[in-house]
């Protein structure tokens, strides 16, 4: 008789376990912080693109496991503060921010893309093109960079002269005004901004082929956010396999123009990605 009475209770427990597992990541929108840095992150939806390459990747990854993402774009230093003070649950950015603040031990990251900082210039100043062997070769030139950029430490250590601006758009406007010789930016960012700011004069600008610095951009979680991180990884792997991830990259780089080294090695090895990366 006791066994008969236990059967409904056992069945109910079993059903609850299934429901909990199927909604393992279900919750309110995930609060994510990042910086405004086109075309990686926009503050709204831009026709023909989206909300930014990294925002789109993160949004689709969470959607794949039934989660909604909510974004706030802040200055770099406030990103670190927001994670450290548990205001945001995750950050789209560079681990370098947390290394420099001394908080690297408190966070984990999942690399989303590998990007290169390059030096953009006006062709009229270097009509034969420009290249260099090492950063010492560039000491005679002046560089424009964004205040707080992860690339600034490399420029400082090389002893390069820099003019710091408050945002990346202003950096290219000052390049056009001949305020300095080179504007430092991720390649995808510089190409996007030149097209947007100077649509009739794109041919007047170029970039040095050799990168100043290569850096992964990542989804960063506090270490105690293990369940959320696990769900994100599952979603990211899913959109890599089904082609969504690579289609997002092509939306911003152009079809057939995604550099091979943009895709992090762990993602390159997933089924479905190998055939897309040339």
pLDDT digits (tens, 9 = 90+) for 30-89: 999 999 999 999 999 999 999 999 999 999 999 999 999 999 999 888 999 999 999 999
Cα–Cα nearest to 155, from 213, 99, 215, 216: 213
pLDDT of 3 reads 47
**Pair (55, 127) in one structural domain:** no
Report if residue 14 sits inside a domain.
no
Same domain (yes/no): 91, 147: no
Task: For residue 155, tell me if it sits in a domain.
Answer: yes
pLDDT in tens, 87-126: 999 999 999 999 989 999 999 999 999 999 999 999 999 9
**C-alpha 123: how far from its chain's center?**
29
Q: Which residue, of 171, 187, 214, is where some domain finishes? A: 214
Give the DSSP letter of residue 159.
T
**pLDDT tens sequence across 9-28:** 554 444 433 433 444 445 68
The mean pLDDT of 188-207, rounded to a whole number, is: 97
Residue 158 vs residues 108, 116, 148, 152, 192: alpha-carbon distances, Å: 29, 17, 17, 10, 27
**pLDDT at site 76:** 84
**Are residue 192 and residue 233 in the same domain, yes or no?**
no
Cα(first)–Cα(last) distance of the chain, in Å? Answer: 67
Per the omega criterion (within 30 degrees of 0), is the bond before 39 cis?
A: yes
Last residue within a domain, chosen from 197, 214, 231: 214
193-202 confidence digits (pLDDT tens): 999 999 999 9
d(CA 237, CA 134): 37
- Number of structural domains found in the chain: 2
Nearest to 148, CA basis, from 23, 66, 227, 37 = 37
Same domain, 136 and 47: no
Whether the predicted pLDDT of 276 surpasses 80 = no
Dihedral over Cα of 181, 187, 191, 196: its sign:
negative
Identify whether residues 221 and 190 lie together within a single domain: no
Say if residue 158 is in the same domain as residue 85: no
The H or E element containing residue 168 is helix 168-176
In a domain, 18, yes or no: no
Q: Residue 269: its pLDDT value, please?
A: 87
Nearest-10 crossing angle of helices 226-241, 53-63: 100
What digits encode the pLDDT tens for the residues 218-245? Answer: 999 999 999 999 999 999 999 999 999 9
Assess whether 88 and 151 both reside in one domain: no
Which residues have C-beta within 8 Å of that of residue 142, sequence separation ≥ 6? 161, 162, 163, 180, 181, 182
Domain range for 89 is: 25-115+215-268
CA–CA gap between residue 93 and residue 263 (Å, rounded): 16
Domain at 235, CATH number: 3.40.190.10
Q: What is the pLDDT of residue 272?
A: 62
**Residue 190, in any domain of the structure:** yes
Phi first, then psi: give them for residue 72, nearest 5 degrees.
Answer: -135, 130
**CA neighbours within 13 Å on the CB side: how many for 29?**
10
One domain for residues 220 and 111: yes
In a domain, 20, yes or no: no
Burial class (CB in 10 A: 0-12, 13-18, 19+), 15: exposed
Q: Check whether residue 122 and residue 204 sit in a common domain.
A: yes
| Residue 166 and residue 137 share a domain | yes
Residue from 71, 63, 86, 68 nearest 29 by CA:
68
**Is residue 153 in a domain?**
yes
């Amino acid at each position: 008789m006791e066994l008969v009475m236990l059967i409904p209770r056992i069945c109910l427990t079993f059903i609850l376990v299934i429901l909990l597992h199927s909604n393992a990541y279900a919750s309110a929108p995930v609060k994510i912080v990042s910086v405004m840095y086109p075309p990686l992150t926009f503050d709204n939806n831009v026709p023909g693109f989206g909300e930014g390459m990294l925002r789109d990747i993160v949004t689709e990854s969470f959607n794949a496991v039934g989660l909604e993402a909510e974004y706030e774009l802040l200055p770099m230093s406030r990103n670190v503060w927001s994670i450290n003070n548990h205001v945001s649950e995750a950050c789209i950015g560079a681990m370098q921010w947390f290394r420099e603040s001394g908080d690297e031990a408190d966070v984990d990251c999942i690399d989303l893309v590998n990007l290169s900082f390059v030096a953009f210039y006006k062709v009229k100043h270097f009509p034969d093109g420009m290249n260099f062997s090492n950063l010492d070769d560039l000491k005679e030139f002046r560089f424009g960079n964004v205040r707080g950029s992860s690339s600034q430490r490399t420029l400082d250590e090389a002893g390069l002269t820099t003019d710091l601006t408050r945002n990346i758009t202003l950096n290219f406007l000052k390049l056009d005004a001949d305020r300095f010789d080179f504007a430092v930016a991720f390649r995808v960012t510089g190409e996007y901004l030149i097209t947007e700011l100077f649509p009739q004069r794109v041919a007047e600008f170029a970039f040095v082929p050799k990168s100043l610095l290569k850096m992964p951009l990542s989804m960063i979680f506090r270490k105690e956010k293990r369940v959320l991180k696990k769900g994100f990884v599952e979603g990211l792997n899913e959109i890599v396999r089904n082609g969504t991830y690579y289609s997002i990259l092509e939306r911003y780089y152009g079809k057939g123009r995604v550099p091979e080294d943009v895709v992090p090695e762990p993602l390159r090895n997933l089924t479905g990605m190998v055939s897309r990366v040339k």
